[in-house]
Amino acid sequence: MSSGESEVWGRKTTPRCNPNSFEDVSQLFSKLDYQQEVPLAPMTTYRIGGAAKHFVVLHSVEDSIHFAKVIGGNAIDWFFLGGGSNILVHDEGVDNLVVTLGKEFATIENGPQNTVKVGARAKFPALTKHCLGLGMRSAKGWIGTPGHVGGALVMNAGTRDGELGDVVRSVQVLNTENAEISEWSHEECAFQYRSSGFGKGKILLSAELYDPEANVMSAERLSREAKELLRKRHSTQPKERSAGSLFKNPNGDHAGRLIEAVGLKGHRVGNAQISMVHANFFVNLGDARASDIVSLANEAYQRVKSEFGVELEWEIKRVGNF
């Protein structure tokens, strides 16, 4: 269920304004909902990490265009935070600007002829439930995936039983490089296994979904099957706080199998643990620190490399000065 978290990275440029100067930055964003020192941990499924020095919430399409003009004109590095379900925030927080969408973008509405219009800030589990209710078969594969719809689009969230991209007709995208909004067709979105073609510097605003076969299968039967899948998933994945799979699966193998094989299942650093239930879930048992998760990940990386010659790659995005 690679998902659910929705981040899009801003371009790497040398800031012309001093990002440490609160005054400079707050003036730049005076027309937007701008805050300082906003704790990020509560906005992540890990519940780990420090604060964002600068934080902007976009409440409308107009806000988003204004935001793009300001960051473009001042070459500010930024990071988009979605559902926070696939990120690990540094214990010292994030110096760069963090931007997110407001609740105004959380709508889910039925359109004509089996279409659904959804805002990028809508919760992906809410969309999953909605689409199951419409008899969209693909939604069965989305079940159990956390995060917001924007991140689910970027990651083409889902499983073998269905991916979000299957039913995407178009996506409304803000290109922050030129402050223009355009509708990307299904083909332009270039959905692939756990990825898409949106690229850097984009903020996804909404999407239109369409399934010509919606309701061919009864919505009740579909929801029943989805619940059964979710039950199976719950028995193979831990309940403690995590951000899903920590490493990507290497070609032809599974990170969980490899980490278990080197004997690290249950291994602990501070209050971070390699889950007893699934070795590719590095869980937060309470007040784990990002540095504890990183220590565990480094150990797993080294052991798997020396015993199997496989170099595991992080799936979770690290945010901040790691």
**Contact footprint for ligand EPU (CB under 6 A):** 1-2, 159, 236, 244-245, 248-249, 254, 256-257, 260, 265, 278-280, 315
Alpha helices in 134-171 (DSSP H): 149-155
**Between 29 and 191, CB nearer to ligand EPU:** 191
224: annotated active-site residue: no
Given the complex with ligand EPU, which of 99 and 155 has the nearer CB atom? Answer: 155
Of the residues 11, 47, 169, 194, only one is catalytic, namely 194
- Residue 94 Cβ vs ligand EPU, minimum distance, rounded to whole Å: 22
Euclidean distance between CA atoms 289 and 74, whole angstroms: 33
**Min dist. Cβ of residue 45 to ligand EPU (A):** 10
Length of the chain: 322
Q: How deeply is 4 buried, as exposed, middle or buried, from its count of CB atoms within 10 A (0-12, 13-18, 19+)?
A: buried
96 vs 245 by CB, closer to ligand EPU: 245
Residue 60, H or E segment: none
**Residue 315 is among the residues annotated as catalytic for this protein:** yes
Smaller CB separation from ligand EPU, 199 or 263: 263
CB of 5 to ligand EPU, least distance (A): 9
Of 163, 245, 275, 303, the active-site residue reads 245
User: CA–CA separation, 227 vs 238, rounded Å?
Assistant: 17
Nearest to 168 by CA among 225, 211, 133: 211
The set of residues, in sequence order, having a beta carbon less than 8 Å from that of 224 and lying 6+ positions away, is none
* SS3 state of residue 207: strand
Smallest separation (angstroms) from ligand EPU to the CB of 297: 14
Closest distance between ligand EPU and the C-beta of residue 62, in Å? 35
Closest residue (Cβ) to ligand EPU?
244
Element housing 88 (H / E): strand 87-89
Long-range pairs of 270-273 with CB within 8 A, sequence gap ≥ 24: 272/296, 273/240
- Burial environment of residue 5 by CB neighbours within 10 A (0 to 12, 13 to 18, 19 or more): buried
Pairing of strands 87-89, 317-319: parallel
Q: How far apart are CA 56 and CA 26, in angstroms?
A: 10
Cβ 188 to ligand EPU shortest distance, Å = 25
Q: Which residues contact 231 (CB under 8 A, 6 or more apart)?
A: none
Residue 194 annotated to the active site:
yes
Query: What stretch of H or E contains 230?
Result: helix 219-236
Q: Which residues are catalytic?
A: 194, 245, 315
